[in-house]
Structure 1
Amino acid sequence: MAKEVSDLTTIDLFNDEKRPGRPKTNPHSRSVQIKINKRNQVKRDKNKGLKRVEFKVHDSLFQQLEKLAKARNISRSELIESLLIESLANK
């Protein structure tokens, strides 16, 4: 009898076969890993003296920020921070 991968009635024939892909290296599920990583990121940012600021901007302004950040070869976050610093220094 030939084994067919899609044949569910002979599933016991496939128990000893290795599945393709990377081996599982973390005991936690992906959702738990994401929470742990986010918590660690917040701790790192806090130790660096960083605070999270979130706001919404219109799509056209967002595209301008993206374009300017790419032209300066910096991240959007770094660009916004530099623009805020510059604006506050001018007051």
Structure 2
Amino acid sequence: MAKQDTDRTTLDLFADERRPGRPKTNPLPRQAQLKLNKRNQLKRDRERGLSRIELKVDEQLLSQLNVLAAKRQLSRAELIYSLLLQQLEQQDLD
């Protein structure tokens, strides 16, 4: 039986053949990469003096924040940060 290049049913014949595609650059599986990257991000944030807070809002408020952030060309996190600072400054003036 002759080996034909178009025949992919007998994979053992093509085991040593290099397939086109992006080469694997990291030995870790994707889940481990994500976990490590998140750990490194949190470490960088801590070094910069940042702390994480979570906030739950309804869909209407979220869409308003997204529109305002896009209008001001900011990320949503930057917008919320600036709004919080403005509110705290107003509280100090009162």
* TM-score normalised by length of structure 2: 0.88
- Cα offset, 1:38, TM superposition: 0.3
**Structure-1 residue corresponding to 2:38:** 38
Percent identity of paired positions between Structure 1 and Structure 2: 53
Q: Deviations over 1:19-43 (max 9, x none)?
A: 2211111111111100110000000
Q: CA deviation at 1:69?
A: 0.4
Amino acid at match of 1:32: A
Please state if 1:26 is matched with 2:26. yes
Aligned to 2:64: 64
Structure 1 gap segments, 5+ residues each: none
Give distance in 2, aligned partners of 1:19 and 1:52. Answer: 43
- What's the Cα RMSD here? 1.0
Q: Read off the aligned partner of 2:38 and give its amino acid letter.
A: K
Distance 2:52 2:20 in 1: 40
SS of 1:33's equivalent in the other structure is helix
TM-score (norm 1): 0.91
Structure 2 residue runs without a partner (length 5+): none
The structure 1 segments of at least 4 consecutive aligned residues displaced by more than 6 Å after TM superposition are none
Secondary structure of the residue aligned to 2:27 is: coil
